[in-house]
Amino acid sequence: MSQRRRCTATMLAGLLVLALSALPLTSVSVAATAAAGMSHSRPVPLTELTVVSEQVASGLRRPIAITGLPDGRMLIAEKNGTIRAYHPDTGLALEPVLDLSARVDTSDNERGLLGITPAPNFARTGILYVAYTSLPAGALTLARLPIGAPQRLQVLLTQEHAEYGNHNGGQVAFGRDGYLYWSTGDGGHANDPFKAGQDLGTLLGKIVRIDVNRTCGAKPYCVPSTNPFVRTPGARPEIWLYGLRNPWRFSVDPVDNSLWVGDVGQGLIEEINHIRPWQGGANLGWSCKEGTPVFDPEQCRPGVRYVDPVFEYEHFLTESCSVIGGVVYRGSRTPEAWGTYVASDYCAPRVFAVRPKRDGGYETATIGNFPTQPTAIGTDVHGELYVLSDFPGWLSRVRFERVRPVSGGGATTR
């Protein structure tokens, strides 16, 4: 989440930024179903797509994260530490399925329960992984617990984050590789005060990757031997990607295990990054760069390769405020949209569509609008889309529709 010097009154009144759970078994099912649909229909140009949202639940209290379960339910995290369940056949359950509010620090607007994802074997174990800012000092915390036994919560990994309440990251998701990914912000305030983005000695401003199926020594997890900084002196071996400001929402494409990362900008640029599985160790630039422009030349190092975003849009002097990273559509209801990544913005809820082109580069377009104040975009077990709205407390189902191409087109490529 982002709290910047150029914040508008509207942004301060709301959650500033503010999932896809790429389960290996579920991912195979989603990909197979979608591939079957692709045999009859190929993706169409983005200018021929639009999105339509249908509100299916209300009464949520600052919903900020969403994930699908194998039984068809959607789990929705509320900022205060409660988790609600929604099923399309029965609606939103009145009582939470889990209450972690006694552990969660919700101060300073951007702290709270931030991310949830089920274990790949959830149907058998009921294990849920959660990310939150913990009492008493707002430490970024990654933990797991059986959904029916909150007293058995086990903390896996923490990162101190006491000085400032903003920029907490908080997405959690499993990759097809079976490893758990977790995003953290740069420590808060503005201008990367701890210079954390480029510092491999801290977990701030990173996406980490760990193996939660094993234990190593006193740690309740292991570091994969293929992590990029395992043998780098002074580096945290858990780091997978660095150079991030506030990766509030990222997702794992269930087909190719690539990461799509929405990184919230300082006040000039909002950006989306696409990182392939072989790009572990990529430096996404912050705080040398904000998007593609240079932000702080003193943080730039000669000979360092920075990975530019695949899509960025202006923040300064616009209605935009915080990118809300989304997901790649791998459902079967609209095979024409298969492989399209969708994201939005908290203050200006346009729907951005991004799709890799066969010959390299990316096609992008704006394909409609989400309901107000989107905080998270997720999928159900079938790969179909849902979006949360913050202060209205809404859950909306999202579908694609074909539209007649606009003369002149609205898509861009890079």
For 36-51, write each residue's pLDDT tens digit: 444 446 889 999 999 9
What pLDDT is stored for residue 405 in this prediction? Answer: 75
| Residue 344: CA count within 13 A, CB half-sphere | 27
What pLDDT is stored for residue 40 in this prediction? Answer: 45
Pairing of strands 139-146, 154-159: antiparallel
Place of tokens 């912050």: 286
Averaged pLDDT of the chain = 91
Contacts of 267 (CB under 8 A, 6+ apart): 4, 5, 6, 315, 316
SS3 track for 325-378: EEEECCCCCCHHHCCCEEEEECCCCEEEEEEECCCCCEEEEEEEECCCCEEEEE
Measured between alpha carbons, how far is 191 from 196 in angstroms, rounded to an integer? 10
Contacts of 402 (CB under 8 A, 6+ apart): 44, 48, 49, 336
Measured between alpha carbons, how far is 5 from 25 in angstroms, rounded to an integer? 44
What pLDDT is stored for residue 404 in this prediction? Answer: 83
What pLDDT is stored for residue 301 in this prediction? Answer: 94
What pLDDT is stored for residue 9 in this prediction? Answer: 35
Q: Is residue 304 a contact partner of residue 294, using CB atoms and an 8 Å limit?
A: no
Q: What is the mean pLDDT of each run of 10 residues along the chain (414 residues)?
A: 40 36 43 47 91 98 98 98 98 97 96 98 97 98 96 97 97 98 97 98 98 97 98 98 98 98 97 98 98 97 97 97 98 96 98 95 98 98 98 98 70 55
Residue-range domain boundaries for the chain: 9-413
Helix (H, G, I), strand (E, B) or coil at 68: strand
Place of tokens 């760069």: 289
Contacts of 95 (CB under 8 A, 6+ apart): none
Place of tokens 């797509």: 49
What pLDDT is stored for residue 391 in this prediction? Answer: 96
**Which residue, among 297, 178, 315, 302, has the nearest Cα to 246 in the 3D structure?**
315
Measured between alpha carbons, how far is 265 from 290 in angstroms, rounded to an integer? 6
What pLDDT is stored for residue 357 in this prediction? Answer: 94
Q: Is residue 272 a contact partner of residue 264, using CB atoms and an 8 Å limit?
A: no
What pLDDT is stored for residue 147 in this prediction? Answer: 95
For 115-129, write each residue's pLDDT tens digit: 999 999 999 999 999
For 197, phi then psi, to 5°, come to -55, -40
Matching CATH number, 9-413, of 3.30.70.100, 1.10.1740.10, 2.120.10.30, 2.60.40.10 = 2.120.10.30
What pLDDT is stored for residue 30 in this prediction? Answer: 54
For 236-275, write each residue's pLDDT tens digit: 999 999 999 999 999 999 999 999 999 999 999 999 999 9
